[in-house]
């Protein structure tokens, strides 16, 4: 296992870490739901979508790097992953603010009756069977799941952004060196 990790480039390591952490967050969220009995709110489900997207982006980057030997492809997917984690961080920040009652959540987050899908505009103003987004079902060390997602997503954003910048700089240097020798 150690030799596999050592054989990976910096970009591949960052993509593998992003993949592993997003997968772990999704597994944890589903375990809290299925085993722990916690019902996710609408904003919780939105945050999961960001991590599903991050899994796909990280997998694409690893494939681009390993199968197609594309360093530029891996670097580009690091940039895409940074955008996904920026969105994930924003969603988690918004949800955490709703939980702490710094601002109201969307009307659909109020909990209550089923949504009438006959009219999208009306559906957005109606309540759902999901719990209210400001109803925190679990906290550890003062942070809710949305709070942990905020911290972890921000960390992943920083990781993939920094590695993307380093990789972009190295690719530019390599291109300049190749242009001088051609």
* Number of folded domains that form the chain: 1
Tell me the pLDDT tens digit for each residue of 66-97: 888 888 888 899 999 999 999 999 999 998 99
Q: For residue 89, with 0-12 CB atoms within 10 Å meaning exposed, 13-18 middle and 19 or more buried, which class applies?
A: buried
As a whole number, the mean pLDDT across the chain is: 84
pLDDT of 135 reads 77
Range of the domain at 87: 11-105+136-181
* Residue 113 forms part of a structural domain: no
Does 2 fall in a domain?
no
Within-domain flag for 74: yes
Residue 85 included in any domain: yes
Residue-level pLDDT at 113: 44
Is 0.85 topped by the overall pTM?
A: no
Domain contains 116: no
pLDDT at 119: 54
Q: What is the pLDDT of residue 173?
A: 74
Q: Which pLDDT score, from 0 to 100, does residue 112 have?
A: 45
The CATH number of the domain holding residue 163 is 1.20.1550.10
The ranges of the chain with pLDDT < 50 are 112-115
**DSSP per-residue letters across the chain:** -HHHHHHS-HHHHHHHHHHHHHHHHHHHHHHHHHTT-PPP-HHHHHHHHHHHHHHHHHHHHHHHHHTS--HHHHHHHHHHHHHHHHHHHHHHHHHHHHHTTSS---GGGG--S---TT-HHHHHHS--SSPPTT----EETTEEHHHHHHHHHHHHHHHHHHHHHHHHHHHHHHHHHHHHH-
| Per-residue model confidence (pLDDT) at position 36 | 85
Chain segment 146-156, per-residue pLDDT in tens:
889 999 999 99
Residue at 93 is within a domain = yes
User: Is residue 27 in a domain?
Assistant: yes
In a domain? residue 115: no
């Amino acid at each position: 296992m150690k030799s596999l990790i050592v054989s990976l480039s910096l970009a591949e390591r960052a993509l593998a870490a992003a993949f592993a952490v997003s997968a772990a967050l999704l597994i944890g969220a589903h375990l809290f739901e299925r085993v722990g009995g916690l019902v996710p709110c609408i904003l919780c489900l939105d945050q999961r979508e960001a991590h599903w997207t991050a899994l796909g982006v990280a997998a694409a980057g690893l494939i681009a790097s390993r199968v197609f030997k594309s360093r530029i492809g891996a670097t580009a997917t690091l940039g895409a992953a940074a955008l996904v984690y920026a969105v994930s961080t924003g969603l988690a920040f918004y949800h955490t603010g709703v939980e702490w009652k710094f601002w109201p959540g969307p009307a659909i987050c109020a909990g209550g009756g089923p949504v009438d899908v006959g009219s999208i505009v009306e559906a957005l103003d109606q309540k759902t069977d999901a719990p209210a987004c400001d109803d925190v079902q679990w906290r550890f060390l003062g942070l809710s799941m949305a709070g942990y997602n905020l911290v972890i997503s921000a960390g992943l954003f920083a990781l993939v952004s920094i590695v993307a910048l380093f990789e972009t700089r190295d690719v530019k240097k390599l291109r300049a060196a190749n242009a001088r020798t051609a």
